[in-house]
């Protein structure tokens, strides 16, 4: 329990009471398992040469044949033996239901940008991968690897049409079933930089399984994966942000894979997991995948660009593509004999992966026509080859012996309240650790408040101060919302994380937007309060506690609406530059039509009826004006020269209502305007929800 309290104390340093509902759920006793022994992993970086020989020899002869030649009846006895060997804590990784994944006649057509005609980027591709195997998708750049991987994973593409079948155990699973049994690891995996490695696995586990899973078992699984992927020393190191250095690129790849394994998938898809890594780091990543696939009987399919010989030999199967067409599919061990049979022998001292890529790559050849003819001949040679016929027979046999997918997961998926609370907890940790989330904004708004308070310093109640006070009210409301552009990077990270986790079936837009909204409330209120404490009293606005807190309320609603606008635009255009430009443009528009620069009484009809009435800055400006001028009087100039004619002119005073009348603010609709502001906030959030729900990418 001491370890439990240490974990909780680290996660909730100062605002534990704010989210005390989670403290009980986060009671995680400290226990561990010798997962490294179970997986047989011994640090590939230290023993790369030994691992290469061991995996090539043992897997190619014994383990590989065992998986390839097993019947369904043999599989069951093998699984039962493995479950006993692994124990209940580790059994969540063992695949006992998915025997194979196959695809037949897969075609993807897009519209050519130049000719505007249909163009096949994946052309009638077949394949089958058995449980316990790791398959490489390889080919030159632009050959269709990533597109095919997305199709196999059931992910959206920008294609005009997709045809063919993707089957599991010879049958087509439903979308929800496939999401439950599979996961996808991006080339640039979206990870929250301010979380530690352990926290990354912890939150993924909580998002994929309910609190019915004992905390001790959850922690044991996390410790097991940390051991298996060589991440024990980095367990309490943050992933890394643009400001704070974290783990290395290779370690991030391993964290990405481990965070998917914690969800107990049966099929793993990886988009170029070795991209940007050196040969040693690449070998580590693939060897971890190889070991996990063999021991847990998982199916792993990864696109890979140009592996070293040792890394290439770790794969069980290879699918070689060029111009969207198959040039080889089958065991990696048979690549050399296959090309020898075509009269294209691979030299003995050459990396086979590098050599076959050179053969099917036509990007740098001078005679494009001759190269295209050679590629077509190689493709036809494949279609007529014995391995191609055996592949078609294997796919047909899988369909003939098809079995329905049964859910073997005793753990239920968490409901919406649990998902929202977990995301809220994760967002809270991010909010106080990542200076980009709110720290920079606190600094910006504090600086803005000091500047405003000293520029409009100690304004008096003379009529000469009326216009400066009006300017200060406009400045405070308009620039508070304008500077909400600082929220763009933070929500972009949240959205990228959402896309990955949503496509892996963890949660939907409702949980994301609920957690994002509630985590922002205390911080935005604190920003509004700090800004007001500094600027309100320095500028000498109406000296009243009620007036002060009404001012705070309007600034708070202003920030809520501005941040909701950011959420909407980032959801619609998940690009930093585009989102930043749109948020800045929208706030510039709201500043122009909010009633300050051009009075609503003379604003032209188009801007008045199209933009003015749903401009949240309008209601903030109007509310602040009533707050300042609705209950205050000002003295006229020398000789009782009054800028505004009011009933108090005979007393050489100006009633604040006279100022309001010039803007058309004859009545104070406080309750109505607050309701409209809340409606605008909710409206932007609903619009963001619709965008996230509809958008496929």
Q: d(Cα 324, Cα 108) in Å, to the nearest integer?
A: 9
Instruction: Classify domain 100-156+174-400 at the CATH superfamily level.
Output: P-loop containing nucleotide triphosphate hydrolases (3.40.50.300)
Q: Based on the number of CB atoms within 10 Å of its own CB, is 294 exposed (0-12), middle (13-18) or buried (19 or more)?
A: buried
CB atoms within 10 A of CB 418: 18
Q: d(Cα 399, Cα 167) in Å, to the nearest integer?
A: 8
Q: d(Cα 688, Cα 567) in Å, to the nearest integer?
A: 7
Packed helices 509-539 and 545-572: angle between N→C axes, nearest 10 degrees? 140
Residue 596 in this model has a pLDDT that exceeds 50: yes
Q: Based on the number of CB atoms within 10 Å of its own CB, is 533 exposed (0-12), middle (13-18) or buried (19 or more)?
A: middle
Residue 659 in this model has a pLDDT that exceeds 90: yes
Residue 221 in this model has a pLDDT that exceeds 50: yes
Query: Which has the higher per-residue pLDDT, 586 or 281?
Result: 586
Average pLDDT of 52-68? 37
Query: Which has the higher per-residue pLDDT, 534 or 190?
Result: 534
Residue 493 in this model has a pLDDT that exceeds 80: yes
Q: List the 161-168 sheet strands across, edge first.
A: 118-130, 100-111, 161-168
Q: What are the phi and psi torsion angles at 43 (to 5°)?
A: 70, 85
Residues 6+ apart with CB under 8 A from 311: 274, 279, 282, 283, 286, 304
Q: Report yes or no: 140 and 361 within 8 Å, Cβ to Cβ.
A: yes
Output the six-digit token pair for 150: 């997305």
Tell me the pLDDT tens digit for each residue of 335-393: 999 999 988 999 888 999 999 998 988 877 777 788 888 888 899 999 999 999 999 99
Q: d(Cα 323, Cα 5) in Å, to the nearest integer?
A: 57
pLDDT of residue 34: 38
Query: Which has the higher per-residue pLDDT, 241 or 515?
Result: 515
Tell me the pLDDT tens digit for each residue of 388-446: 999 999 999 999 988 776 655 545 678 999 999 999 999 999 998 988 888 889 999 99
Average pLDDT, whole number, for the chain? Answer: 84
Which DSSP category does 155 fall into? -
Extents of the domains making up the chain: 100-156+174-400, 418-631+669-694
Q: d(Cα 463, Cα 64) in Å, to the nearest integer?
A: 90
Average pLDDT of 158-181? 87
Average pLDDT of 540-558? 97
Residue 201 in this model has a pLDDT that exceeds 60: yes
pLDDT of residue 365: 76
Residue 114 in this model has a pLDDT that exceeds 70: yes
Average pLDDT of 142-167? 87
Report the percent of the chain where pLDDT is more than 90: 57
Query: Which has the higher per-residue pLDDT, 77 or 469?
Result: 469
Average pLDDT of 534-563? 97
Tell me the pLDDT tens digit for each residue of 601-620: 899 999 999 999 999 999 99
Query: Which has the higher per-residue pLDDT, 60 or 305?
Result: 305
Residue 35 in this model has a pLDDT that exceeds 90: no
Among residues 511, 491, 515, the alpha carbon closest in space to that of 502 is found at 511
pLDDT of residue 160: 74
**Cα torsion angle, 392, 393, 399, 403, sign:** negative
Q: Tokens 């909400």 appear where?
A: 484
pLDDT of residue 292: 86
pLDDT of residue 239: 94
564 torsion bin: left (phi>0), alpha (psi -120 to 50), beta (else): alpha
Residue 40 in this model has a pLDDT that exceeds 50: no
Query: Which has the higher per-residue pLDDT, 679 or 61?
Result: 679
Tell me the pLDDT tens digit for each residue of 66-76: 333 333 334 33
For 627-680, the three-class secondary structure string (H helix, E strand, C coil) is HHHCCCEEECCHHHCCCCCCCCHHHCEEEHHHHHHHCCCCCCCHHHHHHHHHHH
Residues 6+ apart with CB under 8 A from 293: 132, 133, 134, 268, 299, 300
CB atoms within 10 A of CB 499: 16
Packed helices 249-261 and 215-228: angle between N→C axes, nearest 10 degrees? 140
- Per-residue pLDDT band at 14 (split at 50, 70, 90): very low
Average pLDDT of 198-215? 87
Q: d(Cα 359, Cα 376) in Å, to the nearest integer?
A: 12
Q: d(Cα 624, Cα 539) in Å, to the nearest integer?
A: 14
């Amino acid at each position: 329990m001491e370890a439990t309290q240490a974990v909780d104390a680290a996660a909730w340093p100062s605002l534990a009471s704010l989210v005390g509902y989670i403290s009980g759920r986060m009671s995680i006793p400290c226990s561990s398992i010798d997962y490294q022994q179970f997986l047989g992993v011994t640090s590939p970086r230290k023993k790369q040469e030994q691992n290469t020989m061991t995996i090539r020899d043992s897997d190619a002869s014994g383990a590989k044949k065992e998986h390839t030649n097993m019947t369904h009846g043999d599989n069951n006895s093998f699984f039962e033996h493995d479950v006993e060997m692994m124990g209940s804590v580790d059994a969540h990784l063992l695949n006992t239901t998915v025997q194979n994944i196959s695809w037949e006649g897969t075609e993807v057509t897009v519209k050519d940008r130049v000719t505007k005609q249909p163009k096949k980027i994946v052309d009638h591709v077949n394949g089958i991968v058995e449980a316990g195997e790791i398959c490489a998708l390889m080919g030159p750049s632009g050959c269709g690897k990533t597109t095919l991987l997305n199709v196999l994973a059931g992910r959206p593409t920008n294609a005009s049409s997709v045809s063919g079948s993707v089957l599991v155990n010879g049958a087509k699973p439903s979308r929800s079933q496939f999401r439950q049994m599979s996961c996808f690891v991006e080339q640039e995996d979206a990870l929250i930089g301010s979380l530690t490695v352990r926290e990354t696995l912890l939150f993924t586990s909580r998002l994929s399984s309910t609190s019915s899973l004992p905390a001790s078992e959850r922690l044991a699984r996390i410790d097991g994966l940390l051991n298996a992927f060589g991440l024990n020393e980095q367990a309490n190191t943050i992933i890394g942000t643009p400001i704070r250095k974290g783990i290395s690129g290779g370690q991030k790849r391993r964290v990405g894979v481990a965070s998917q394994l914690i969800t107990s998938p049966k099929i793993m898809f990886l988009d170029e997991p070795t991209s940007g890594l050196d040969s040693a780091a690449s070998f580590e990543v693939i060897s971890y995948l190889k070991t996990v696939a063999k021991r847990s009987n998982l199916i792993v399919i990864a696109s890979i660009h140009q592996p070293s010989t040792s890394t290439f030999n770790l794969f069980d199967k290879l699918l070689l593509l060029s111009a969207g067409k198959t040039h080889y599919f089958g065991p990696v061990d048979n690549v050399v004999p296959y090309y020898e049979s075509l009269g294209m022998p691979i030299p003995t001292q050459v990396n086979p992966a590098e050599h076959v890529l050179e053969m099917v790559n036509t990007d740098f050849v001078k005679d494009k026509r001759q190269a295209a003819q050679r590629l077509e001949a190689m493709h036809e040679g494949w279609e007529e080859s014995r391995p191609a016929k055996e592949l078609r027979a294997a796919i047909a046999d899988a369909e003939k012996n098809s079995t329905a997918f049964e859910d073997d997961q005793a753990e239920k998926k968490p409901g919406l309240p649990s998902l929202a609370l977990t995301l809220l907890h994760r967002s809270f940790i991010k909010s106080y650790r990542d200076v980009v989330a709110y720290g920079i904004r606190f600094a910006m708004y504090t600086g803005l408040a000091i500047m405003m308070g000293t520029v409009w310093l100690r304004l008096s109640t003379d009529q000469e101060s009326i216009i400066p006070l009006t300017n200060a009210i406009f400045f405070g409301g308009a620039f508070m919302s304008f500077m909400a552009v600082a929220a763009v990077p933070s929500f972009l990270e949240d959205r990228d994380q959402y896309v990955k986790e949503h496509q892996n079936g963890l949660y939907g837009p409702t949980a994301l937007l609920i957690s994002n909204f509630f985590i922002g409330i205390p911080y935005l209120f604190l920003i509004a309060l700090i800004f007001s404490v500094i600027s309100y009293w320095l500028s000498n606005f109406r000296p009243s506690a009620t007036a002060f807190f009404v001012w705070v309320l309007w600034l708070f609603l202003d920030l809520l609406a501005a941040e909701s606008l950011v959420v909407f635009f980032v959801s619609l255009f998940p690009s930093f530059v585009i989102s930043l430009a749109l948020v800045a443009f929208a706030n510039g528009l709201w500043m122009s039509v909010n009633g300050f620069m051009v009075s609503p009484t003379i604003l032209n009809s188009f801007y008045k009826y199209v933009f003015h009435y749903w401009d949240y800055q309008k209601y903030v400006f109007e509310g602040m004006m009533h707050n300042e001028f609705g209950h205050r009087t000002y003295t006229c100039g020398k000789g009782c020269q009054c800028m505004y004619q009011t009933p108090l002119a005979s007393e050489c005073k100006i009633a604040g209502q006279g100022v309001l009348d010039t803007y058309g603010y004859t009545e104070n609709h406080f309750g109505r305007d607050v309701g409209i502001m809340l409606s605008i906030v909710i409206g932007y959030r609903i619009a963001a929800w619709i965008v996230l729900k509809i958008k496929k990418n």
